[in-house]
Amino acid sequence: MLEMRGLRSDCLRAEKKTLRRQAKAVTSVLGLACILGACATGGSALLSEVAPVNSPEQGWKTSLRADKALVGKIWEVSTGRFISAEALLESLKSREYVLLGEKHDNPDHHLLQRKILTALSEEAVLGAVSFEMMATDITPRLETLGTRKFASSDRLAEYIEWDKQGWDWGFYGPLVSLAYERKVPIYAGNISRVQMSALYASDSPVAEGAVGELARAQLRADIDSSHCGLLPESQFDAMVRVQQGRDESLARSLEGANNAEGKAAVLIAGNYHIRQDLGVPNYLLRAQPSLQREAIASVAFLEVAEEGTQPAHYLEDSVELPAYDYLWFTPALANKDYCAAMRGEE
């Protein structure tokens, strides 16, 4: 089931007043990952050095359930074992696509994303970075970044028209700045609001064959649960189209970014988008028939749940294949009932 703790009201504020009625539905899909829901020496040594351990005093920004046994551990799904940060990096170095998930408002997830980006850069295998947080209509500005200098991180944010209300620049600025400073190409992965509205209003299917009927049924179920059962069923299909449109756009941005031999195109997106069973990997495979699923690595940064004591608990809603390749567990940010908030009970 979707993780309600990541639902953010700022996702709803992103829509224009003229689209307000549609926006509540559409931007909730834009925030499905919200609901799930994240220099130095070199390479694996760097990643090992900064990886937090099972104690808030050792570097965690969040503290809820920090004493849980899973906190700080990395689970490799294919082998069913815990691995080190160095082993994770070694695996990521050989992939064409590296998808780094997050719960959008958890600062530890962004810290760990930055460490992985830095380590890949130090190993000279970071080819490009695409962000869910930027829509494709900003692409012309991104294409000129290499010719410009900025006096500060805030000036960079202004130039790329970063949505600071929707996405905390304090979280994402270090990621964007790292890529910019190291001359790594930056791509916008998300659909624009115009494209979103068109998908919402359309009856045409999106990326037919990318996911099967079981996956589509799971998308509908997740849309329902993420809205606490309050969303009219008549809106489900439209919202599935928007979700699929976003995943297809994210995949397209990665495909366009992957033009450096031996280097990885990295996606920064919510955990829901990087799912192997429902998300972006399926659209990459649809667009590139010769691509092997093993060339894509999805790393989910997950807050530990109160009752989730085994890694397998976090994969129970997978459809046909495990949702992720790696699970990296962190403390949680808050213990809040978002359904109660949506129902006006708080």
Domain ranges of the chain: 42-189+245-342
3-class SS of residue 147: helix
- Calculate the average pLDDT of the chain: 85
d(CA 295, CA 304): 28
Beta-bridge mates of residue 97: 265, 296
pLDDT bucket at 346, cuts 50 / 70 / 90: low
Q: Is the pLDDT of residue 223 over 80?
A: yes
Nearest CA to 34 out of 297, 284, 305, 222 is that of 222
User: What per-residue confidence (pLDDT) applies to 344?
Assistant: 74
Q: Give the alpha-carbon dihedral of 343, 107, 266, 7, to 10 degrees.
A: 0
Give 4-60 pLDDT, tens digit per residue: 333 333 333 333 333 333 333 333 333 443 333 333 333 344 454 444 444 444 589
Give 104-140 pLDDT, tens digit per residue: 999 999 999 999 999 999 999 999 999 999 999 999 9
Beta-bridge mates of residue 190: 135
Direct distance between the N- and C-terminal alpha carbons of the chain, in angstroms, rounded to an integer? 23
User: What per-residue confidence (pLDDT) applies to 297?
Assistant: 98
CA distances from 101 to 112, 234, 261, 316, 333 (A): 10, 30, 24, 18, 16
User: What per-residue confidence (pLDDT) applies to 69?
Assistant: 96
Q: Give the alpha-carbon dihedral of 203, 207, 210, 213, to 10 degrees.
A: 10
**Cβ contacts of residue 329 below 8 Å, gap of 6+?**
68, 70, 71, 72, 73, 74, 75, 302, 303, 304
One CATH from 3.10.580.10, 3.40.50.720, 1.10.150.650, 3.40.50.11550 for 42-189+245-342: 3.40.50.11550
CA distances from 172 to 35, 166, 260, 324, 342 (A): 18, 11, 24, 23, 27
Give 227-249 pLDDT, tens digit per residue: 888 889 989 999 999 999 999 99
| Token pair for 89 | 């990096």
Beta-bridge mates of residue 83: 74
Give 144-182 pLDDT, tens digit per residue: 998 999 999 999 999 999 999 999 999 999 999 999 999
User: What per-residue confidence (pLDDT) applies to 141?
Assistant: 96
What's the whole-model pTM score? 0.85
Give 260-316 pLDDT, tens digit per residue: 778 999 999 999 999 999 999 999 999 999 999 999 999 999 999 999 899 999 999
Give 198-214 pLDDT, tens digit per residue: 999 998 889 999 999 99
User: What per-residue confidence (pLDDT) applies to 212?
Assistant: 92
User: What per-residue confidence (pLDDT) applies to 29?
Assistant: 36
User: What per-residue confidence (pLDDT) applies to 20?
Assistant: 38
User: What per-residue confidence (pLDDT) applies to 15?
Assistant: 35
